[in-house]
Amino acid sequence: MLNDKTILITGGTGSFGKKFLEKIFAEYEPKKVIIYSRDEYKQSVMKLEYADKVDMSRVRFFIGDVRDKERMKRAFVGVDYVIHAAAMKQVPTCEYNPMEAIKTNIHGAQNVIDAALDCGVEKVVALSTDKAVNPINLYGGTKLVSDKLFIAANAYIGNNYNTVFSVVRYGNVAGSRGSVIPIWKKVIEDGGDTLGVTDMRMTRFWITLDEGVELVFKALRESKGGETYISKIPSFHIGDLAQAMLPGCKIDEFGIREGEKLHEVMVTKDDSFMTYEYENHYIIYPHFEWWNPERNYTRGGVKVSEGFEYNSGNNTQWLAVEELREALKHM
């Protein structure tokens, strides 16, 4: 289904976009991949980095901002699939620049929706975050609104529009710019023996870039409109990750930061009424009058029990120190 398709990635010069580019050419034969982003330097670096890794004759770089609807309409012409990865995602930055976060994360999402509908895009998959679940910071709040916009956009289906919208939700990807791993690696490389930890009780889900991209592939292949996809992945304790990276290290526990949670939540108890469990993932289905379960439900799922919550602190799968150390070797 992904062969001979033209695929555009907003924010495509980030960690996700790079991994997506690698895997789409390794596993499929896309017609064209368009990297849509606003940073010309990052695009130049990416061109050089992947010159010998993928077929660059099928890769295009398009300068543009998700805040600019007209520019996106031009970029979306002839595009089959859009992956929306562009966002302001640093929690402190969003807190201190709230209107800029709203312009990018909310207005930008609506611009993606409008451009996709007007240009006849087949499918749009929007990347979300655990911080959109019961948000306690501005970043999470903007991503919650963004998710709602993408899910609600499926209401247009059948009214001269056929674009299918879905959401993929996961937490901080291991090794990405939002992860603590690159920060600790720098401390270790500089000869440090102390790693800073906000709170030793903290847990997180472990998802790699490969797993994140595979979930997006699944959404592109299977989505029918309105789904929120969530991977079934293991959890880890933040202290165990520190010991995996620097055995015997000292810990500087400096306290939880503004906008942080002790545990990541992917599925809330309130979502349990519309959540189905599959072999390797969950799907939260929308609760709208227009949503047609006979047409849009993906077969093979089992409805979770009422009150179910998918939380990194109560997960049934855990990575111990040695398992984390092994996982780090493959990043």
Dihedral over Cα of 189, 14, 58, 224: its sign:
positive
At position 51, the amino acid (one-letter code) is: A
Q: pLDDT for 227-264, tens place per residue?
A: 999 999 999 999 999 999 999 999 999 998 777 889 99
Does residue 196 form part of some domain? no
Burial class (CB in 10 A: 0-12, 13-18, 19+), 260: middle
3-class state of residue 137 by DSSP: coil
pLDDT value of residue 171: 79
Q: Which pLDDT does position 329 carry in this prediction?
A: 85
- Identify the CATH number of the domain in which residue 154 sits: 3.40.50.720
Measured CA to CA, the distance from residue 153 to residue 226 in angstroms comes to 8
Of the candidates 232, 234, 205, the residue with the CA atom closest to the CA atom of residue 218: 232
Strand-pairing partners, residue 203, are: 237
> How far apart are alpha carbons 137 and 98 in whole angstroms?
10
Residues lower than pLDDT 70 in the chain:
177-178
Distances (CA, A) of 301 to 215, 275, 276, 283, 297: 16, 9, 5, 8, 9
Q: What is the pLDDT of residue 157?
A: 82
CB-CB contact of 201 with 263 (8 Å)? no
| Residue 250 in domain | no
193 part of a folded domain: no
Burial 121-160 (b: 16+ CB within 10 A, else e): bbbbbbbbbbbbbebebbbbbbbbbbbebbbebbbbbeee
Query: Structurally, how many domains does the chain consist of?
Result: 1
Q: Residue 180 and residue 183: Cα distance in Å, rounded?
A: 5
Is residue 189 included in any domain, yes or no?
no
Cβ pair 79, 117 in contact under 8 A: no
Contact status, residue 89 vs residue 100, Cβ threshold 8 Å: no
What's the CA gap between 33 and 13, in Å, rounded? 12
CB 68 within 8 A of CB 108: no
Rounded (5°) CA angle 253-313-308 = 155
Does residue 200 form part of some domain? no
Catalytic residue among 19, 89, 131, 143: 131
Q: What is the rounded distance in angstroms from the CA atom of residue 273 to the CA atom of residue 284?
A: 9
CB 21 within 8 A of CB 47: no
CA distance 81 to 122: 6
Distance CA 122, CA 207 (A): 28
Which strands make up the sheet holding 228-231, listed edge to edge?
A: 59-63, 32-37, 6-10, 81-84, 123-129, 164-170, 228-231, 281-284, 275-277, 302-303
Tell me which residue range forms the domain holding 31. 6-172+207-232+266-309
Tell me the per-residue pLDDT of 39-82, one tens digit each, with 9 for 90 and over.
999 999 999 999 999 999 999 999 999 999 999 999 999 999 99
Q: Does the residue 211 lie in any domain?
A: yes
Predicted TM-score (pTM) above 0.85 = yes
Conformational region of residue 39, where left means phi above 0, alpha means psi within -120 to 50, and beta covers everything else: beta
73 in active site: no
Provide the H-helix boundaries in 50-167: 69-76, 91-96, 98-102, 108-119, 138-152
Which residue shows structure tokens 């879905």?
166
